[in-house]
Structure 1
């Protein structure tokens, strides 16, 4: 006896789904085609992530669209899938495993079904059968999502994608063009000597939130946290969503302006609590970098190296002597229509040619 289409798909193909959203949409489509009266579906996975506790994908039969809802670790536990499904019709759901962290699969019936408050017994039996067959592919999907979440948390999205694609050999990499951002706290060593360790960690986290939040908001990626320092890139991209030199530089400029605004706000909050401010410096440069794997044979690091990285680091070191929180190289200034304030040419330690230096127009 041949299996129904949905069950055959779960056995043969579902584990290879590109992601949970495609899994849920395809399974829902097949259930509809088999006559099950589903108006929507929800799939919840727990993920190992610093701030996200659970991810829920919501599918609507009427449109075929899937949206994602996030549950954050600091928020009270809630069931976003059940709440959303209840707005569509009677709800059926099942935990795929014994633990509260196992996948949760749910379906909504048709709201206008005459007199129905729940799925009919034969419909519920079929959904239970689907859930049993879904256990294996969902385990594979959950493992992939967990691996991706961990890699992205520690490497960043682009670097994680490279590692997952198999770019693991030491010395492998590619030359890319990118705007680079290097940021650092001023007088961090002195501050750390007079600040209780847990308070220092909290201060660093607040600072990194401002920097990384702005970088990610404008399409960049943090490559490194080194002590109190940050190295981030805004790559020039190719393909359907290509970003040219100017777009990368202007994205970096918008990010560094947002970082400065965020740090001003943070210092005001700290001042209200009787805490010392966190003066910082940030520099922007644009150029070619080698982005790839370096390190020991059994301990690799996915990072960026090259003269452009050296220059942006040296330029950031000029922030304190010049009394500026943001410095911008001539290479970035040439690739933006933004109004910048020139600060002349300056020699940078270890860099052969003097660097034309600018800052944001407002200071």
Structure 2
């Protein structure tokens, strides 16, 4: 017997949709074409993410708009109450609410860690309710595929960063020459970490590192940069130039540095109230080209950046302490930044053949 078109779509094509928001939109439109009085939908999936526990897509039939709502807390869907964001959305949209699942009682999961709900503009007939039950069962498999794809993307982004994760997902899984990109490089390093790790318990050391990384990486991401590496107590980040002027990337990096320093200043005051020492750090900025790609053995790779620019920025940061400056920049960076910087002369950097013009921030 031939399947109804909506069920056939769920079997044959639904798993190839770009993402959950496209899935719920396409499925809702197909149900309306089948004659069901669908006013909207809510799809909630567990999100294996360090911060986000659940993601909910809220679809409105009359406009076609999809809103994404994020849930924070423990992983999984346990504890979803009837007054959740999805249920509230459905209640506002329709005269009747149907919350279906793949098999079992209402409000159960349609797949591993997913809830699918519908709002109707009028009470549903018994036949319409039965059809939605079939739809929910057939939706379990493609939702599982979409969830697995989303999980993979989230895990790669968590450990590699957005830009590197996209490259790996695109199939770059072999050693290659990589690509050369022009970017502002930011290298930041915590001061006195060895002494801290010797004097404090491992738990408090990890807490200090997490707080430091939160503020540095958070500031980088807030201004469209990307953290490439956590190196011990250091951070290597980039602000790709791309099609924008180099000055825009430089200014974004300076705003990120200002935000990071403000965040750490506030955190140091909190540490002082607890009788803990501050967490000072130095930061270096450079503008240059780097080689970005897979490096390693044939079967164990690291997606990373190498090149003279990477070497220079890490060595430049080492001058922060002897020069008594919290932030230093290279001549290449200072030449493009719109902020006027203070020249500190040329300095030899360890392992770098030519002297580097070094600049500091005003004030």
For normalisation by structure 2, the TM-score amounts to 0.92
The answer on whether the counterparts of 1:55 and 1:70 sit within 8 Å (CA) in structure 2 is yes
The answer on whether the counterparts of 1:96 and 1:102 sit within 8 Å (CA) in structure 2 is no
Query: Which residue is equivalent to 2:288?
Result: 287
SS at the partner of 1:107? strand
1: CA distance, partners of 2:62 / 2:275: 55
Residue 2 of structure 1 and its aligned partner are, at CA, apart by 4.4
Residue 77 of structure 1 and its aligned partner are, at CA, apart by 4.5
1: CA distance, partners of 2:113 / 2:259: 39
1: CA distance, partners of 2:301 / 2:151: 21
Query: Which residue is equivalent to 1:348?
Result: 349
1: CA distance, partners of 2:120 / 2:295: 53
Structure 2 unaligned regions, length at least 5: none
Query: Which residue is equivalent to 2:64?
Result: 64
SS at the partner of 1:254? helix
1:142 aligns with 2:143: no
The answer on whether the counterparts of 2:103 and 2:137 sit within 8 Å (CA) in structure 1 is no
Q: Deviations over 1:96-122 (max 9, x none)?
A: 467865211111112xx4xx4xx3322
Query: Which residue is equivalent to 2:45?
Result: 45
2: CA distance, partners of 1:192 / 1:94: 53
1:167 aligns with 2:172: yes
For normalisation by structure 1, the TM-score amounts to 0.92
Q: Deviations over 1:156-182 (max 9, x none)?
A: 111011001011111341111111111
Query: Which residue is equivalent to 2:25?
Result: 25
The answer on whether the counterparts of 1:260 and 1:325 sit within 8 Å (CA) in structure 2 is no
SS at the partner of 1:181? strand
**CA separation of 1:247/1:14 partners in 2, compared to 1, >3 Å: closer, same or farther?**
same
The answer on whether the counterparts of 1:95 and 1:102 sit within 8 Å (CA) in structure 2 is no
Report matched runs for 1:206-245 at 5 Å: 206-237=211-242, 242-245=243-246
Query: Which residue is equivalent to 1:94?
Result: 100
Query: Which residue is equivalent to 2:117?
Result: 106
Residues paired across the two proteins, number: 352
SS at the partner of 1:39? strand
2: CA distance, partners of 1:130 / 1:341: 66
SS at the partner of 1:247? helix
More moved, 2-11 vs 201-210:
2-11
Query: Which residue is equivalent to 1:55?
Result: 55
More moved, 76-85 vs 280-289:
76-85
Query: Which residue is equivalent to 1:323?
Result: 324
1: CA distance, partners of 2:258 / 2:135: 51
Structure 1 unaligned regions, length at least 5: none
**CA separation of 1:230/1:200 partners in 2, compared to 1, >3 Å: closer, same or farther?**
same
The answer on whether the counterparts of 1:46 and 1:102 sit within 8 Å (CA) in structure 2 is yes
**CA separation of 1:95/1:360 partners in 2, compared to 1, >3 Å: closer, same or farther?**
farther
1: CA distance, partners of 2:229 / 2:247: 24
The answer on whether the counterparts of 1:96 and 1:131 sit within 8 Å (CA) in structure 2 is yes
2: CA distance, partners of 1:85 / 1:209: 36
SS at the partner of 1:334? helix
Query: Which residue is equivalent to 2:265?
Result: 264
The answer on whether the counterparts of 2:190 and 2:234 sit within 8 Å (CA) in structure 1 is yes
More moved, 256-265 vs 353-362:
353-362
**CA separation of 1:65/1:204 partners in 2, compared to 1, >3 Å: closer, same or farther?**
same
SS at the partner of 1:358? strand
The answer on whether the counterparts of 1:179 and 1:234 sit within 8 Å (CA) in structure 2 is yes
Residue 244 of structure 1 and its aligned partner are, at CA, apart by 3.3
Query: Which residue is equivalent to 1:255?
Result: 256
Query: Which residue is equivalent to 1:36?
Result: 36
The answer on whether the counterparts of 1:96 and 1:104 sit within 8 Å (CA) in structure 2 is no
Root-mean-square deviation over aligned CA pairs: 1.8
